[in-house]
Structure 1
Amino acid sequence: MAMPKRIVSMALIASFICSPQLMAEDEMVKSIMELRSEVEALYSQIDNNKDAYKSQMKSYALQISDNEAQINRQETALKLTQQNIEKIEQKLEAAGSTTVDLKPIIEDALTSLEKEIKAGIPFKIDERVAALHQIKSDLENKNITQEKALALTWASYDDALRLTKEIGQFKQEITLDGKATMAKIAKVGSVMMFFATPDDRVGYVKQNGDNYDYVVTTDSTERDQIVELFDALQKQIRTGYFTLPNALLTRGVN
């Protein structure tokens, strides 16, 4: 009888010894399974991030391609203006001495420039066209000599070219919702133009066929970008890296 009791006691001791080991192994298996599940989730997230990144890069590539195409068209328009200036120079050279009547040449040059201004970005168009009309009027009424009119016309062409490169902040009257309002203007050469009104509306000029519209942005990101541009120009910062809404203009060069 002593023998069986001893065997049972040893079995019980073995059971107590093995039980913690089995529990530890069970916990380890559970931990491994949880880790494996987390790893699989991470791999899935990485795959999703890769797809999102590829999609974003594709979108950026398309936008860059579109911007480059519009800039190329703008450069072509600028070259056409320079060619017009060269034609005027050739006409002046052919005219020879100041005894030749320069009035027809000057009037043609002013008419051509007026068309360029009206076709270009809507930047102080009325003022610039009025200045050309004043030259024509003074020449017609003989308030200025032909030589003076020629110099003023040439200066107007120089000013038109300068505006294609000028970046700055200005003020002018614009039309929003059918009403005229004074606004701050941020002009980026002749390719982009943004505005900010006293009632905190901001936006950009959008080309619509032969016309230009003032579009108030409702996108918070675009708004922040435009406000940042105005702040930089207010601080006389005209160079650097800026992220701006895609508001490139391609019609005309002024």
Structure 2
Amino acid sequence: MLKYFLKKTILFIGLIFLTPAPTAMGSSLENLAKALAKIRGEVETLQTQLDTEKEKHGSRMSALNSQLADLSVEERRQKMSIEKLQHSIEKMTADAKKAEQSGENLKPVLLAILKDYKQYIQIGFPFKTEDRIKAIENLENNVVNQTIDPNKAINQAWSLIEDEIRLSKENGIYQQTISLSGEKMLVDIAKLGTVFLFFQTRDNRVGMAKRDTDNGWKFETVDDNDHIERITKLFDSLKKQIRQGYFELPNPLIK
């Protein structure tokens, strides 16, 4: 009887230890399922973020391609302008030879070329426009008033046009008086060839020259913080004589 009671007690104790096992396993599986569900949710979130970034990247590439096309158009415009100036030089040289150094025959040719050159500056890249036009007008007056030898006048005209071509290749910081919101003010200018022109005022406003119409330009400040930071970085780099490197800048060619 005692032996039977001991066997039953041992069996009962064994059941006590064995019974929780399925419960523990069920709890473990439940936790695993929750963890998998959480991971699946994180994967779906990451996939959504990845799709969004891909879409943003596609839009950005499309915008950059559009800007690249604008820059290509502007580059062709500048090349055509330079080619026109070079053609003027060649024509002036040829006409000078035909005139056989005759001042009276050479004068109308030279004045016609200076007139075309002045019109080119008036509607062209807005860098120190008044100074460049003044140099042409001084030469025109000297030719008209015959206070300069025609051959010397040709050399001066040649030098002015060469300066114009050199402008298209130079980057740097300059000072210039511009019209901003109807007010004349002296500002620092960051000139990149004859395509981009950014400015910085004495009160730390920044902006850029933009085409107003096909025959004009205007100076506008920028309000976007990213654009302000990029233009400021360009000025800092040029002032430190850093003229090469990667610069991300706002595009003034965008309408």
Aligned-residue CA RMSD (Å): 2.5
- CA gap of 1:76–1:33, structure 2 versus 1, over 3 A, is same
Deviation at 1:170, TM superposition (A): 1.1
Deviations 1:117-175 (A, max 9, x none): 11211222222222222222223333322222222122112122222222221111111
* TM-score under structure 2 length normalisation: 0.85
Indicate which of 207, 222, 243 corresponds to 1:217. Answer: 222
Q: Is the 8 A contact 2:103 2:150 kept in 1?
A: no
Partner in structure 2 of residue 75 of structure 1: 79
1:235 aligns with 2:221: no
Residue 135 of structure 1 aligns to a residue in which SS? helix
Match for residue 197 of structure 1 among 195, 198, 201? 201
Distance 1:93 1:217, change over 3 A: same
Alignment of 1:38-57 (within 5 A): 38-57=42-61
Measured in 1, the distance between the counterparts of 2:248 and 2:76 equals 20
**CA–CA distance in 1 between the matches of 2:16 and 2:237?**
83
Distance in 2 (alpha carbons) for counterparts of 1:244 and 1:195: 13
**Partner of residue 128, structure 2:** 124
Go from structure 1 to structure 2 and tell me whether the alpha carbon gap of 1:122 and 1:16 turns closer, same or farther (over 3 Å shift). Answer: closer
- The aligned amino acid for 1:118 is Q
- What residue number does 1:136 align with? 140
Q: In the TM superposition, what is the alpha-carbon distance from 1:25 to its structure 2 partner? A: 3.2
User: Match for residue 167 of structure 2?
Assistant: 163
| Larger deviation, residues 138-147 vs 181-190 | 138-147
Identical aligned pairs, as a percentage? 31
Number of the residue aligned with 1:252:
none
Distance change >3 Å, CA 223–CA 160, structure 1 → 2: same
In 1, distance between residues paired with 2:253 and 2:15? Answer: 87
SS at match of 2:19: helix
**Between Structure 1 and Structure 2, how many residues are aligned?**
249
Question: Relative to 1, partners in 2 of residues 1:202 and 1:15: Cα closer, same or farther, differing over 3 Å?
Answer: same
Partner of 2:115: 111
Q: Deviations over 1:12-38 (max 9, x none)?
A: 343144433333333333333333333
Is this contact kept in 1: 2:206–2:221, CA < 8 A?
A: yes
Q: If the length of structure 1 is used for normalisation, what is the TM-score? A: 0.86
| CA distance in structure 1 between the partners assigned to 2:82 and 2:25 by the alignment | 84
* C-alpha displacement of 1:5: 4.8
Equivalent residue letter for 2:34: K
Question: Aligned pair in 2 of structure 1 residues 34, 79: CA closer, same or farther (>3 Å)?
Answer: same
Equivalent residues in 2 for 1:137-152, closer than 5 Å: 137-152=141-156
Greater shift, 179-188 or 19-28, is seen at 19-28
Of 92, 99, 103 in structure 2, the residue corresponding to residue 95 of structure 1 is: 99
Kindly indicate whether residue 176 of structure 2 is the aligned counterpart of residue 172 of structure 1.
yes
Distance 2:154 2:74 in 1: 34
For the 8 Å contact 1:184–1:195, the answer to whether it is kept is yes
Deviations 1:181-223 (A, max 9, x none): 1111111121111111111111111111122111001111111
Structure 1 unaligned runs (5+)?
A: 250-254
Structure of greater relative contact order (alpha carbons < 8 Å, 6+ residues apart): 1
CA distance in 2, matches of 1:132, 1:70: 25
Q: What amino acid is the match of 1:241?
A: Y
SS in 2 for 1:203: strand
Q: 1:181 to 1:105 in 2, by over 3 A?
A: same
For 1:151, the aligned partner's letter is N
CA shift for structure 1 position 243: 1.7
